[in-house]
Chain A
Amino acid sequence: MATAHQTAGPYWHMIDFPAWADLLRADGPNAGAEGERIVIEGTITDGDGALVTDAMVEIWHADPAGRYDAAFQGFGRCATNAEGRFRFVTLKPGPVPGRGNTLQAPHVQIAIFARGLLSHLTTRLYFAGEPLNETDPLLGLVPAERRATLMAEPVSPGTWQLDIRLRGGAETVFLDI
């Protein structure tokens, strides 16, 4: 039996290191890594549409070649700010092999930890307009009318926005992984 999750609570910032939101930071594990630099940002809201200003957001994604076993470490952490926003700087991931000889569209795994979440929520960010989105195995499991909740849109060159709604409204698709 695996140990039970418990909420990260409101004081998780004891392990917030703001530099980690920049995966390309000069003194980090990916310094000098080459690829397409992107910004990933968004706003998190709760069941009342109120801003979630105390969440811990983590990302995990493959390198530009779609690999997890190479040097690049696609891991970042960011606290949502007073506007409920998170922002990461990283390299755009490549397509990743799926199960059974399928190919997954480029994607970023997102984990959300916060007060009120007894275990973290998992979702994915995909990049709007990516041709592989049409055949991505996971997107294929998501009802068509809800896929937009996983689709980041370009808001300026290199900057992708994905807002996350925890509950109600256009609730984000969360994944049971």
Chain B
Amino acid sequence: MSDPIPYARPAPGTQPPLDSPAYRSTQGRAPLLAPIRAPHTLTETSSPRLSPLHYPAQADMSVHNGKAAMGERIIVAGRVLDEAGRPVANSMVEVWQANSAGRYHHVRDDHDAPLDPNFEGHARIFTDAEGRYRFTTIRPGAYPWRNHHNAWRPVHIHFALFGQGYAQRMITQMYFPGDPLLALDPIFNTTADEAARQRLIASFDLGVTEPEWALGYRFDITLRGPAATPFEEGDHP
């Protein structure tokens, strides 16, 4: 049988290095040894086919048990494509976030900000045939963390994506335009490439905005695409 097409490796600086001292938690957890470069086999180029039948979609975080959550309702929409511009279709996307006061509905979040009984803060959606996704939520709040003195995370929503090969699996964070905390955030700033960082920031989009209902933000996500040449991968003939 023919070998699967490998995925492209990231260009230098476009992904955050595991060992990033400014983000303190990396110092106990990032491996010290270099990883072994693994050829891409069916294990890396296949992905779970997660169907809404067993993983039901839930695309509205702004209402819980029929009651509206506190905060500014927003719509987030975008497309998931690979680097070759091909839609990542029918793929599960998971998102989670803090409430409008900057507190997670999570037992270990002890930030002294109110919980909202009408907000849990997680959703599951599926891309359509064109790779499009869309969900409704509440604009999350910034929250403090203990990385350094007076450290605050910029407003963000966590995204988990699968793609069509497990080598495309990724978790990222979507940030909001104009957030003054971005310049101060060690997690955001670990990625050296300026353009790569900017792509983590959603854009306000009047086309996604719904009149008299909710502001809209657009966040497009690019998963790894096929390697430029099949020989780049270091094949073992």
* B29–A4 CB distance below 8 A: no
User: Interface code B8-29, partner A: CB below 8 Å = 1, 0 otherwise?
Assistant: 1011001111101001011111
From A8, A10, A29, A74, B171 is in contact (CB under 8 Å) with A8
Is the C-beta of B40 less than 8 angstroms from some C-beta in chain A?
Answer: yes
Q: Which residues of A contact B31 (CB under 8 A)?
A: 121, 166-167, 171-172, 174
A9, A141, A174, most chain B CB atoms within 10 A: A9
Are A118 and B18 in touch, CB under 8 angstroms? Answer: yes
> Which of B20, B42, B195, B222 is packed against the most chain A CB atoms within 10 Å?
B42
* Contact status of A120 and B171, CB under 8 A, knowing A11-B106, A175-B38: yes
Q: A4-B200, A14-B104 are in contact. Are A176 and B38 (CB under 8 A)?
A: yes
Q: Which of B16, B224, B225 has the most CB of A within 10 A?
A: B16
Decide if B35 touches A176 in the complex (CB within 8 Å).
yes
- Judge whether B96 is part of the interface by a CB distance below 8 angstroms: yes
A140 vs chain B, min Cβ distance (A): 8
Kindly specify which of A34-42, A83-91, A92-100, A155-163 makes contact with the partner chain. Answer: A92-100
CB <8 Å contact, B224 and A62 = no
- Interface code A106-133, partner B: CB below 8 Å = 1, 0 otherwise? 0101010111111111100000000000
**Distance between Cα atoms of A46 and B32 in the complex (Å):** 11
Tell me, rounded to whole Å, the shortest Cβ–Cβ distance linking A109 to chain B. 5
Residues of B188-223 at the interface with A, using a CB-CB cut-off of 8 Å, are 188, 190-191, 193, 195-197, 199-200, 221-223
CB distance from B74 to the nearest CB of A (A): 18
Within 8 Å of chain B (Cβ to Cβ): is A18? no
**Which of B46-54, B125-133, B176-184 faces chain A?**
B46-54
| Residue contacts A-B, CB under 8 angstroms, 20 given | A4-B197, A6-B16, A6-B172, A11-B98, A11-B106, A14-B96, A14-B158, A15-B96, A60-B166, A61-B43, A100-B236, A111-B166, A115-B25, A116-B25, A117-B29, A119-B16, A121-B31, A168-B32, A174-B33, A176-B35
Please give 7 more A-B residue pairs, beta carbons under 8 A apart, in addition to A13-B106, A99-B3, A116-B27: A2-B14, A2-B83, A3-B222, A7-B173, A8-B158, A96-B42, A176-B35
